[in-house]
Amino acid sequence: MSIDMSQFYQVFFDEAAEHLASMEALLLALDLDAPDADQLNAVFRAAHSIKGGSGTFGFTDMAAVTHILETLLDRVRKNEITLTHEMVDAFLQAGDALRGLLIAHQNGSLADEAVSIAICAKLEKLTAEGSPQAPVKGTPTVLTAEDSMQSTSSAAAESGSNPSADEDQSYGFFAETDGIKSEAEKVQGYGFFDEPAVIRSGVENAQGYGFFEEPEVIKSGVENAQGYGFFTEMESRPYMPPPAISARQDDVPGRRATDRAAATVGENSIRVGVGKVDNLVNLVGELVITQAMLTETVSKLDPVIYERLLSGMAQLDRNTRDLQESVMSVRMMPISLVFSRFQRVVRDNAAKLNKKVQLKIIGENTELDKGLIEKISDPITHLVRNSLDHGIELPADRIAQGKDPQGTITLRAAHQGGSIILEVSDDGAGLNRERILAKARERGMPVGESMSDAEVWQIIFSPGFSTAAVVTDVSGRGVGMDIVKKNIESISGRIDINSVLGQGSTMTIRLPLTLAILDGLSIAVGDQIFIVPLGFISESLQPEPGEIKEISGQGEVVHVRGEYLPLIALHKLFNIQPRIINPAEGILVLLEAEGKKIALFVDELVGQHQVVIKSLETNYRKVPGVSGATIMGDGRVAMIIDVGALVKWAVIGGQ
Confidence category of residue 309, pLDDT binned at 50, 70, 90: very high
AA identity, residue 607: G
What whole-number distance in Å separates Cα of residue 414 and Cα of residue 361? 11
Does the structure show a pLDDT above 90 at 249? Answer: no
Mean pLDDT value across the chain: 74
User: Rounded mean pLDDT of 586-603?
Assistant: 86
Confidence category of residue 119, pLDDT binned at 50, 70, 90: confident
Q: What is the pLDDT of residues 488-509, one digit of tens each?
A: 887 878 888 999 999 999 999 9
Q: Which CATH architecture has domain 1-139?
A: Up-down Bundle (1.20)
- Contacts of residue 249, Cβ cutoff 8 Å, sequence gap at least 6: none
User: Rounded mean pLDDT of 613-630?
Assistant: 79
Q: For residues 480 and 382, is the Cβ–Cβ distance under 8 A?
A: yes
Q: Which of 127, 145, 132, 99 is nearest to 243 (CA)?
A: 145
Does the structure show a pLDDT above 80 at 150? Answer: no
AA identity, residue 501: L
Q: For residues 364 and 326, is the Cβ–Cβ distance under 8 A?
A: no
Angle among Cα 306, 309, 310 to the nearest 5 degrees reads 85
What whole-number distance in Å separates Cα of residue 98 and Cα of residue 111? 10
Higher per-residue pLDDT: 483 or 437:
437
Does the structure show a pLDDT above 80 at 270? Answer: no
Please report the pLDDT score of residue 180 as a whole number: 35
Q: Which CATH architecture has domain 517-652?
A: Beta Barrel (2.40)
Please report the pLDDT score of residue 530 as a whole number: 93
Exposure letters 166-186 (e unless 16+ CB within 10 A, then b): ebbebbbbbbbbbbbbbbbbb
Question: Domain limits of the chain?
Answer: 1-139, 140-265, 274-331, 334-512, 517-652
- Contacts of residue 100, Cβ cutoff 8 Å, sequence gap at least 6: 111, 112, 115
What whole-number distance in Å separates Cα of residue 588 and Cα of residue 590? 6
- The dihedral over CA atoms of 567, 572, 573, 579, expressed in degrees to the nearest 10, equals 90
Does the structure show a pLDDT above 90 at 293? Answer: no
Q: For residues 215 and 140, is the Cβ–Cβ distance under 8 A?
A: yes
AA identity, residue 628: G
Confidence category of residue 652, pLDDT binned at 50, 70, 90: low
Tell me the CATH number of domain 334-512, given options 3.40.50.720, 3.40.50.2300, 3.40.50.300, 3.30.565.10: 3.30.565.10
Tell me what percent of the residues of the chain surpass a pLDDT of 90: 12
Does the structure show a pLDDT above 60 at 202? Answer: no
Confidence category of residue 130, pLDDT binned at 50, 70, 90: low
User: Rounded mean pLDDT of 593-598?
Assistant: 76
Burial of 58 per CB tally in 10 Å (0-12, 13-18, 19+) = middle
Burial of 462 per CB tally in 10 Å (0-12, 13-18, 19+) = middle
Please report the pLDDT score of residue 253 as a whole number: 37
Q: For residues 516 and 281, is the Cβ–Cβ distance under 8 A?
A: yes
Does the structure show a pLDDT above 80 at 158? Answer: no
Higher per-residue pLDDT: 535 or 605:
605
Q: What is the pLDDT of residues 384-395, one digit of tens each?
A: 988 998 899 999
Q: Which of 630, 653, 532, 528 is nearest to 588 (CA)?
A: 532
- The sign of the dihedral angle between the CA atoms of 580, 584, 590, 594 is positive
Give the Å distances, CA to CA, from 511 to 535, 536, 609. Answer: 9, 11, 18
